[in-house]
């Protein structure tokens, strides 16, 4: 029976399917370069992309944190309760996304809902964006 399955290509098909799935998972969860992320911020018309990129790098450990790998959420976004979201749900207390660009799209929705202009650093402080009082200073160091 085993020889018949091998001769009919069953194992080859299964192995190829597994390889394709692993490649797709790797592509979806692969940490992006800061250049790719910056281009996506520009493409999706994110306000203050330099500051937002610094936030992303700080929040995700330069896009290498376990949270980012598990959720494709490099911005530390929580699951939205009162606004539209591109998140697929909640995992580990944070929103998870099907693709990292969906996280950028959710950032855009968040900005459109809450940011009304002015100094972005002051905005982040005024809404209590981060628990650390040094958050804005850390962003400025990037």
Greatest CA span in the chain, whole angstroms? 72
| DSSP class of 117 | S
Residues 6+ apart with CB under 8 A from 105: 44, 86
The residue ranges of every structural domain in the chain are: 1-30, 31-141
How far apart CA 37 and CA 133 sit, in angstroms, is 26
pLDDT at site 118: 96
Reading the block at residue 97, the tokens are 């996304």
Percent residues over pLDDT 70 in the chain: 78
pLDDT score at 13: 67
Per-10-residue mean pLDDT for the chain, 142 residues long? 56 61 52 88 98 94 90 94 96 95 97 96 90 87 86
Residue in 56, 53, 86, 92 with CA at minimum distance from that of residue 71: 92
**CATH class label, 31-141:** mainly alpha
| Model confidence, pTM | 0.76
Closest CA to 26 of 85, 77, 100, 123: 100
Q: What local confidence, expressed as pLDDT, does residue 21 receive?
A: 61
Q: What pLDDT score does 44 carry?
A: 97
């Amino acid at each position: 029976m085993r020889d018949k399955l091998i001769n009919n290509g069953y194992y080859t098909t299964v192995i190829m399917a597994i390889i394709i799935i692993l490649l797709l998972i790797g592509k979806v969860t692969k940490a992006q370069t800061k250049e790719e992320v910056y281009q996506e911020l520009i493409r999706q018309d994110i306000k203050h992309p330099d500051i937002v990129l610094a936030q992303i790098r700080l929040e995700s450990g330069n896009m290498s944190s376990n949270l980012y790998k598990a959720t494709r959420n490099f911005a530390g976004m929580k699951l939205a309760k009162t606004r539209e979201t591109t998140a697929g749900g909640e995992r580990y207390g944070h929103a998870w996304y099907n693709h990292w660009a969906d996280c950028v799209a959710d950032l855009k929705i968040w900005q459109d809902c809450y940011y009304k202009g002015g100094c972005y650093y002051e905005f982040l402080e005024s809404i209590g964006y981060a628990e650390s009082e040094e958050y804005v200073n850390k962003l400025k160091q990037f």
